[in-house]
Structure 1
Amino acid sequence: MNLKEAIKLLKSNVEVVSNYTYMTILQVVNSFFYILIYPFVISAIGVESYGLYVYAASISTYFFVLVSFGFDIHAAKLVSIDQKDNVLHVKILSTVTAAKLILALVSISVGVVLYAIVPFVESNKALFTICFSNILSSVFLPTWYFHGVQKMKIVTFIQLIAKFLSLPIIYMVLSRDPVVDAYALIVVATSIAASLLAFLSALMMMKEKLVMPSLGDVSKMMKDSQPFFWSSATNTFKQKSVEVIIGSLFGMTTLAVYDLAYKIFSVPSLLASNINAAIFPKLVKGADRTIINKIIKVEFVIGVICMISVGVAGYWVIQVINIPGMQDAHFLSMLLSVNIVTYLVVGSHIYFIYVPRDRYDLVLNNQVVSVLTFYLLSVVFLWLYWDVYSVVSALVGSALFEIMYSYYLVRRVERY
């Protein structure tokens, strides 16, 4: 290897590390931000109201995923292959945005029906409308573009600035008017504003104007992204169903406890799970199986370290927050931490084996089996023991089964 090649390799590795760092900072700070304001929000609006907000946000997430439609992985792949073609990039941006606007209209139509037929949604119309409006952030947030060109620091700075600017607003508004609708409005408005700014930043980087995509281009983009949509939809359906089930069966206060547990668990899990996403642009054209095996071994160790960190840090988070009745959040977060290993192992299979080989169908198969396993285990565990721990245990059990099934799919892929 000559000096020029060595410098190129070093630069490539630095870009991967930088991309991972900014992706992780963005999501970790996002999770930490809500832990930071958690005590104040709970004391201002109450545990029950906060649980209601989590419930409404969970329902709205289904529509958020519909609008996102799996474009993030497919569009990032297209941009990663040719990171310098701005004409191609603006065409992709135009096509993805048009497709998302169409899906947003579909979501609005479904939302109107929900208001008409579900009394609980109708009785909390203002809160559900505010949370539902967050689909606009999905329409305009081009994370896939910044991921593909490995410029995640831009979207990271935008979202961090928006979050910190919203902090004094949350304190001022809730101090005067401590209602859950006001809190939801600030959170959603911040998200939408950051997305719009990121969208404009992407356009400025491309130095091109948006174009009117053909229906054929929009249709093809949706068709190519469809496997990722079904994968993300089934995964989100499983994750958010946990919150919906807990809120429906055990009440909004218990849901608020679970939400705190999930926030504690999410910080180290995001540190780990973003590794595969950051490496993805460099290995999108295919990776040697030996390299993938080494990555998985390292990530398994990282996963175990993250599980230990949840147990240790979670205890102190609960002590600092010091809200009566929240102690179960520590034990729930420790149970959830088992999922970190699943994120890493299954994520490496998806990013480095399935996607490079265009086996998007296997991504979907894996998620479908996982969500079906979750519901089956939920029924069995709740029948044996009617408690929130049964629901979370079912989630963890389905995650462990997901690892085993993913290895089965990998062997099937490599056989042909």
Structure 2
Amino acid sequence: MSKLSKKLSGEEKTVAKNYGALVVLQGLNYLLPLLIIPFLERQLGLEKFGLVMLAQYLMVFCVVSTDFGFNLTATREIAMIKSQNGDYSKIYFKVFWARMILLVIVFLILMVVVFSFDRFSQNWAVYLLSYGVVIGQAIFPVWFFQGIEKMRLITIINVIAKVIFTVLLFLFITGPDDFMNVPVFNSIGFITAGIISFIISLKYVSWQWPDFKGTREFYKESFQVFSSNVASQISVAANGLILGFFAGDAIVGVYSAFEKLILAAKNMYVPIYQAIYPYMSRKELVEKRMMMKKLIPAIMGLGILGYAIIFFLGDWIIEVLYRDERIIENIELFKILGLIALFSGLSMLFNVLYAPARKLFKSRLQIMIIGAVFNLIMSFIFVPLYGLKATVIVATSTELVLLICAAVYYKKDLKYNA
């Protein structure tokens, strides 16, 4: 290990340390769904479990809206300032105050949506209590710690939050009547992490009150990323929401039981991209492309391995984790959904890493819009007719469409800048 460390440059050592920290965090993200999701399905029953998951799907859009694309644009700006030994304060508080304003606006929009549809208003408290997750995410400056490449701090804070949430669940969720505690405990975990991380981040910056002058271009870029993120989340959260409207909470519960496990597999790529992104952002075009040549076969191999595990061990995984027959009898759909673990890694390589590092926000937006439009059209046509099976096929097909588009745009960028 020491020999390897000597071969790495200072920047490469930082990337390796951040990747190590993120692997620990992502390992926790793999482990906890294996504990929490089956536990909730058993304790709450499929209907209440599906209701709680439906609220989480809606919160995905809220989180993306309050983030406003800063997860990529602000991270890149902070990384550039770090390379120049500059002051982070100005950009930090332009992002912070923008997110606080968005937090209020999004909450007001959420209330209008919840109380405008009977499907939501019947259980309005579940959705509003779930908003604590959005608050916690908004005040947690992940983008800042990623930009200054202090990912170990994020790991420690996230571990604390997830442990709090998990312990509370196992202590106080004993039956279907306790379903309201799930969003409460989830919110407590996220808000705790947000407050701790915000306090720690203040030692790197000097306090500033709102001042949005001179950052029009930055907010314009952020809006493009935001639009892309909303479009990409339509391919994730909208599947559960549309299924819930047409098939009910129990079927959402079945889909969520599968989708949460697949999401954990999909997120195995996140530590790689988060650790490399600040590093790649600072590099010249030639170096970026050299990194991509090395990453493409590695990510493809990882995706094939991930899907092989799901395909060959899928029956055993589902039967060990879940008890409800409606979940077990749909194991083949779980294996189909598992293809996402293969498709998403390669599409994210362009959409999450290369395109933002190259500032190809317009191309990224176009790809995400194509995926979102395809997803929505297919869902509204087929989900009312075929329910769960349609949702699984549409979700998987959308990831394939995103991969094809990413490959086309990457090839186009190589040719245009040859």
- Taking structure 2 as the reference length, the TM-score comes to 0.89
Residue 227 (structure 1) aligned to one of 224, 228, 234: 224
In the alignment, what sits opposite 2:35? 36
Matched residue, 2:61: 62
Detail structure 1 runs of 4+ shifted over 4 Å in the superposition: 84-87, 217-220, 379-383
> Relative to 1, partners in 2 of residues 1:247 and 1:116: Cα closer, same or farther, differing over 3 Å?
closer
Partner of 2:137: 138
Q: Structure 1 unaligned segments of length 5 or more: list them.
A: 1-5
Structure 1 residue 277 corresponds to structure 2 residue 255 = no
1:96 alignment partner in structure 2: 95
**Separation in 1, partners of 2:276, 2:404:** 23
Q: Is the 8 A contact 2:165 2:188 kept in 1?
A: no
Q: Is the 8 A contact 1:342 1:400 kept in 2?
A: yes
1:307 pairs with 2:307: yes
Deviates more, 1:230-239 or 1:32-41: 32-41
1:298 aligns to what?
A: 298
Distance 1:302 1:141, change over 3 A: same
Q: Any idea what the Cα deviations from partners look like across 1:158-186, whole Å, max 9, x if unmatched?
A: 11122223333223322389421112101
Tell me, yes or no, if the aligned pair for 1:273 and 1:340 is still in contact at 8 Å.
no
CA distance in 1, matches of 2:347, 2:236: 16
Deviations 1:341-378 (A, max 9, x none): 33222222235542333221001001001111223333
Match in the other structure for 1:202: 201
Q: Share of identical aligned residues, percent? A: 20
SS where residue 372 of structure 1 aligns? helix
State the secondary structure of the residue aligned to 1:215: coil
Does structure 1 conserve the Cα–Cα contact (< 8 Å) formed by 2:42 and 2:322?
no
CA contact (8 A) 1:262 1:336 kept: yes
Q: Is the 8 A contact 1:44 1:174 kept in 2?
A: yes
Is it true that 1:182 corresponds to 2:181 in the alignment?
Answer: yes
In the other structure, the counterpart of 2:16 is 17
- Give the match for residue 172 of structure 1: 171
The residue matched to 1:82 in structure 2 has which SS? helix
Task: Pick closer, same or farther for the CA change 1:85–1:313 going to 2, 3 Å.
Answer: farther
2:353 and 2:263 map into 1 onto residues whose CA distance is 23
Q: CA separation of 1:218/1:102 partners in 2, compared to 1, >3 Å: closer, same or farther?
A: farther
Cα distance in 2 for partners of 1:306, 1:404 equals 20
Mapped to 1, the partners of 2:175 and 2:397 lie a distance apart of 44
Q: Deviations over 1:304-336 (max 9, x none)?
A: 011112234543332322412221564333222
Output the CA distance in 2 between the equivalents of 1:236 and 1:164. 26
Is structure 2 residue 319 aligned with structure 1 residue 319? yes
- Tell me the SS of whatever aligns to 1:72: helix
What SS does structure 1 have at the residue aligned with 2:180? helix
Q: Distance in 2 between matches of 1:115 and 1:243?
A: 16
Higher mean C-alpha displacement, 238-247 vs 268-277? 268-277
- Tell me which moved more, 118-127 or 19-28: 19-28
Q: Using a 3 Å threshold, how does the CA distance of structure 1 residues 249 and 85 change in structure 2: closer, same or farther?
A: same
Partner of 1:251: 248
Distance in 1, Cα, partners of 2:322 & 2:111 = 40
**Aligned position for 1:47:** 46
Shift of 1:217: 5.0
Once the two structures are TM-superposed, the CA of residue 65 in structure 1 deviates from its matched residue by 0.9
SS at 1:216 equivalent: coil
Map 1:68-147 to 2 at 5 A. Answer: 68-83=67-82, 88-147=87-146
Report the Cα distance in structure 1 between the residues aligned to 2:151 and 2:330, rounded to whole angstroms: 32
Q: Is the 8 A contact 1:98 1:218 kept in 2?
A: no
Alpha carbons of structure 1 residues 314 and 198: separation in structure 2 relative to 1, 3 Å? farther
2:261 matched to which residue of 1? 264
Tell whether the 8 Å contact from 2:115 to 2:124 is kept in structure 1 after alignment.
no
> Could you say if the C-alpha distance between residues 84 and 291 of structure 1 is closer, same or farther in structure 2, counting changes exceeding 3 Å?
closer
Q: Distance in 2 between matches of 1:119 and 1:41?
A: 25
Q: Tell me the alpha carbon deviations over residues 272-327 of structure 1, each in whole angstroms, 9 at most, x when there is no partner.
A: 34323322222213335344123112211111011112234543332322412221
Cα distance in 2 for partners of 1:411, 1:367 equals 17
Query: Is the Cα contact below 8 Å between 2:280 and 2:288 reproduced in 1?
Result: no
1:237-289: CA deviation from partner (whole Å, max 9, x where unpaired): 22101101221222211211111112221233211343233222222133353
Change (3 A) 1:404 1:143: same
* Whole-angstrom distance in 1 between the partners of 2:199 and 2:401: 42
Distance 1:132 1:291, change over 3 A: closer
Gaps of 5+ in 2: none
| 1:240 corresponds to | 237
Partners of 2:262 and 2:340 within 8 A in 1: no
**Over aligned residues, Cα RMSD in angstroms?**
2.5
Q: Is the 8 A contact 2:33 2:261 kept in 1?
A: no
Structure 1: how far apart are the matches of 2:56 and 2:214?
Answer: 32
CA distance, structure 2, for counterparts of residue 230 and residue 104 of structure 1: 17
Which residue of 1 is the match for residue 386 of structure 2?
A: 386
Specify the alignment match of 1:359 in structure 2: 360
Q: TM-score, normalised by structure 1?
A: 0.90
Deviation readout 1:190-226 (Å, 9 max, x if unpaired) = 111111111112223x1x3321241225655422211
The alpha-carbon deviation at position 134 of structure 1 amounts to 2.2
- Matching residue's letter, 1:367: M
Deviates more, 1:216-225 or 1:50-59: 216-225
